[in-house]
Amino acid sequence: MTHRSGCPDGARANAAPGGPGLTRRAFLTRTAGVAAASLVGLSAPQLTTRVAFAASPTYTGDVLVVVSFRGGFDGLSAVAPLGDPGYAAARPTIAVPPSRALPTGDRFWGLHPALAPLLPWWQAGTFGAVHAVGAPDPTRSHFSAMAEMERAAPGSSLRTGWIDRALGLRPATGTFQGMSVGSATVPQSMSGPFAELGLDSLDGFTLDGVWGDTAEQKAADLRRWSTALAALHAGVPSMSTAATSALGAIATARTLADATYTPANGARYPHTVDGGPFEGSPLSAALLDVARLVRADVGLQLVCIDYGDWDMHADLGTVDRGRFHGRLAEWAASVAAFAADLGTDGMRDVTLLTMSEFGRRVAENGDRGTDHGHGNAMLLLGGGVAGGTVHGPWPGLAPERLDDGDLAGTTDYRDVLAEVLTRRCGQSAADLTTVFPGRGAFAGVGAVVPRT
C-alpha cells in the first residue's frame, strides 16, 4: 500500500485494450500491498466503500493530537522566562527581549513573537504551556532520549509505546482509532500489538497502481481490485480481517479525498496559500488532514504528527528571523489554521500537545545556537486546556539551580500526559499503572480541566 500515482509498467503492459485487466502480475502487486497492510496489525469489522469507522458511541473523550518536536525543542526561546535574571545573562544574543515578547498576562513570562498567530487562543484561555518539563534519567542522546520518552516505562523491559498501551486498554473500534499522519511509519510510542495506521496523506492513500485517467475510472478500478483481493483472503480468517480492514480504510480515505473540503471559519492553512512563506508545509498538510478526519467523524481518538529540525546548534537566529523563528512561525500558523477550521465547538473535543526528547542548554554556545539540554516546555491547545498561563514550578536559572548546566525538570512529562488522558480522554486512573508503569503517584499539573 503506497501513495504513488499511475500504474506500474508491468500492469500496464499486461492490460487489455481500454485499460488494465485483472492480470496475475498486477494482482500480485495489489496483494503485496494488502499483505503489507496486514503487517501493521490492522483489524476491523466488515467494511463497505462508504465512509466507514463512525465514531464509537462508547468513546466520549477528546481527540488527542500529539505533535513531536524532533531534535530537541528550545522551550526557553518559545516561552521565555523574562523575569529570571539568569535568562538574558546566559543568552546575550539569542534571548527574547522583553520589548519584543508577546504578553502572557504575567510579566515573568513572554511568548516568542513567532507565536503571534496563536495569541488570541492564549488570551481566550485555550492555549497554554507547562514549563520545566523533564524526564527521569535524562540523556543528551537524541536516539536514547526519544526512545525512552516514547516507551515511557523507565526501569522496565517493556518495548511497547505509551500510546499503544493507552489504546490497548480501550475497545478497538476501527482502523482510524489511532493514527500517524504525515508519515506512513508510526512512531515508537505506537509500537505494540494494538492496531495503528500510518499514512502520508489522505489524498495519497490508495492501492499501488490503481488505473484511470479520471476519478470515476480510478474508483471503478479500485472497486474491482478490492473485490478480488477480499475474495483472495476470504479463506484465511486472520488475513481476511486484515485485508478487509486495509481495503475499508482505503475506501474511506478515497471517499474523503474525492469530496471537496473547504476549511471552515475562513481558516487558511499556510501550505495552501500560493506564494506564502510556508507553501508546501508538510505540517500544515498533516493538520489539514487531521481536521478532515475529525470533521468526518471516522472514529479518530489519537493521532501523532512528527515535526522535526529543531536541533539548532548554530545560527538559531533572532526574534525576527532565522531558523528558530521560521520553524516556530510555521507551527503556530498551521496550528492556528487547524483551530480556526474546527472552530470553538470542534476544539471542545480536541487537545493538541507538543513533546520533544529534551530541551536545550540554558547558555548559548559560541555559534549562537544551543546544545542538548534537559528541562523543556510543552505547549497545549484545546477547549479543555487551562490556558493563558504557564504551569509548573519554576526551578530558576541561577547557576546553583541548574541541572549540570541545564534547566532542571520539575514536572515529569508523564504527569502531563496522564492528566490529559484521564481528564480529557476517558482513561481511568487505574489504567495509568499500565500506560506509565513504575511512575507511582502522579502529580497534578492543572494544564487541562476535566470533561463535563
Output the pTM of the full model: 0.87
How many of the other CB atoms lie within 10 Å of CB of 112? 22
- Average confidence (pLDDT) over 135-160: 95
CATH number of the CATH domain containing 346: 3.40.720
Is the CB of residue 270 less than 8 Å from the CB of residue 277? yes
Assigned domain for 349 exists: yes
Of 233-242, 284-293, 341-350, 354-363, the poorest mean pLDDT is in 233-242
Cα–Cα distance for residue pair 436/15, rounded to 1 Å: 54
Helix residue ranges per DSSP H, 107-234: 119-124, 142-151, 162-168, 215-233
The string of pLDDT tens digits covering residues 230-253 is 777 677 766 556 667 777 788 888
How many of the other CB atoms lie within 10 Å of CB of 275? 5
User: If we measure between CA atoms, which residue out of 22, 159, 30, 134 comes closest to residue 75?
Assistant: 134
Of 27-31, 47-51, 186-190, the poorest mean pLDDT is in 47-51
Question: Band of the pLDDT at 297, cuts 50, 70, 90?
Answer: very high
What pLDDT sits at residue 44?
29
Assigned domain for 370 exists: yes
- Average confidence (pLDDT) over 352-364: 98
Structural domain boundaries, residue 70: 53-210+265-435
What pLDDT sits at residue 17?
31
Cα–Cα distance for residue pair 231/252, rounded to 1 Å: 19
Assigned domain for 242 exists: no
pLDDT at 50 over 80: no
Cα–Cα distance for residue pair 362/387, rounded to 1 Å: 25
Is the CB of residue 15 less than 8 Å from the CB of residue 29? no
Assigned domain for 32 exists: no
Assigned domain for 241 exists: no
Q: What burial letters (b/e) apply to 333-354, b meaning 16+ CB within 10 Å?
A: bbbbbbbbbbeeebbebbbbbb
Question: Band of the pLDDT at 12, cuts 50, 70, 90?
Answer: very low
pLDDT at 21 over 70: no
Assigned domain for 229 exists: no
Averaged confidence pLDDT in the chain: 86
- Average confidence (pLDDT) over 193-204: 92
Is the CB of residue 77 less than 8 Å from the CB of residue 324? yes
Is the CB of residue 405 less than 8 Å from the CB of residue 361? yes
Question: Band of the pLDDT at 49, cuts 50, 70, 90?
Answer: very low
Assigned domain for 372 exists: yes
State the total domains in the chain. 1
What pLDDT sits at residue 55?
62
Q: How far is CA 17 from CA 12, 14, 74, 208, 344, in A?
A: 10, 10, 59, 20, 53
What pLDDT sits at residue 423?
98
Cα 181 to the center of its chain, rounded Å: 7
Q: What burial letters (b/e) apply to 220-247, b meaning 16+ CB within 10 Å?
A: ebbebbbeebbebbeeeeeebbbbbbbb
DSSP state of 68: E
Cα–Cα distance for residue pair 351/302, rounded to 1 Å: 10
How many of the other CB atoms lie within 10 Å of CB of 77? 24
pLDDT at 14 over 60: no
Assigned domain for 286 exists: yes
pLDDT at 144 over 80: yes
